[in-house]
Amino acid sequence: MDNPLGCNTLYPGGRLMDVRHQFTLAAHKRSLQILKEAGFEACEFSHFDVLVPQECRALREACEEFGLIPWSAHSWVTLPETPEEADKHARELRESVDAASDLGVKVVVVHAASGRLDLNDPEQRRVRSIGLETSLLGVAPHAIAYDIKLGIENCADRANLEFMVEVVRGLDLPNVGFVVDTGHAVLHGMDPAETIRIMGDRLCSTHLQDNFGHVDDHLPPGRGNIDWSSVIAALEDVGYEGVLMVEISDCPPNRAPDAIADTREAFEDLFHFARGRLPE
């Protein structure tokens, strides 16, 4: 695949303990420089919620200077399960979208809450449907004005994903789609390639990350058990044209983080699977 290769912004100054005070504008600029120097062409902002609008606009300019595509931003506001929570979450998500528009990104990644309501119970399923629909209707038209897509990430099992795909297709909002997180797929008993095919033409971004089937390790592709050739084949099958975005960990549990080495390793691993050869 010749899609652009991207990576999430990693905190460049050692262990990240306090996002708001440590991951400053200067630290973000440094993380972009590290991504560029590793060979990446695009980025995802993992911690943009802590930045003020002026800082987001400065990062958009920094991307331009580095020649990086500001592709996506990860919002930490969830899509709620119930209609009662929908208005509040939609309001907060609209604020995330405003900040994302200052960054100039194309996709805002969101998680959807799940677990309290039982999808096998028709009444609870109906309530959850209304909750999801109400929150998406509260934020998607706002995002479309900025030409931003909302990408719902798979964070649960197949039944949850199929439910969300059904709701999203029923709404017919053109700028709502899905983000495949390959590591989450495995941890919830799914094959990442199958997850991509269920998302189909609604796939709007990726979180390519690996693990050994037990813990959400966020390792670079190839460092765990995932079959990456089948992931790439599925991405080609659904006609995915966006960035191949790695999502690795800021905070590896058993060793000190090293943003430069970790970013470089992620680039080499992703390049290998995406392009079918080693980087020069």
Q: Which residues bind Zn ion (CB under 5 A)?
A: 181, 207, 247
- Closer CB to Zn ion, residue 56 or residue 208? 208
User: Residue 202 in contact with residue 168, Cβ under 8 Å?
Assistant: yes
- Closer CB to Zn ion, residue 55 or residue 210? 210
- Closer CB to Zn ion, residue 134 or residue 209? 209
Strands (E), the chain: 5-8, 42-45, 69-74, 107-111, 149-153, 176-181, 203-207, 244-246
Residue 123 CB, shortest distance to Zn ion, in Å, is 31
User: Residue 28 in contact with residue 51, Cβ under 8 Å?
Assistant: yes
Q: Nearest residue to Zn ion, using CB? A: 207
- Closer CB to Zn ion, residue 102 or residue 181? 181
Residue 186 CB, shortest distance to Zn ion, in Å, is 12
Residue 215 CB, shortest distance to Zn ion, in Å, is 14
CA 7/CA 247 separation, integer angstroms: 6
Residue 105 CB, shortest distance to Zn ion, in Å, is 15
Let me know if 12 is exposed, middle or buried by CB neighbors in 10 A (0-12, 13-18, 19+): buried
**The token pair that represents 33 in the structure block:** 């420089």
CA 11/CA 185 separation, integer angstroms: 25
- Closer CB to Zn ion, residue 35 or residue 62? 35
- Closer CB to Zn ion, residue 33 or residue 249? 249
Residue 247 CB, shortest distance to Zn ion, in Å, is 5
DSSP letter string, 137-151: HHHHHHHHTTT-EEE
**The token pair that represents 225 in the structure block:** 């058990």
Closest CA to 240 of 186, 179, 185: 179
**The token pair that represents 101 in the structure block:** 């528009």
* Phi, psi at 107, each rounded to 5°: -135, 135
- Closer CB to Zn ion, residue 55 or residue 181? 181
User: Residue 204 in contact with residue 149, Cβ under 8 Å?
Assistant: yes
Residue 78 CB, shortest distance to Zn ion, in Å, is 13
Residue 33 CB, shortest distance to Zn ion, in Å, is 23
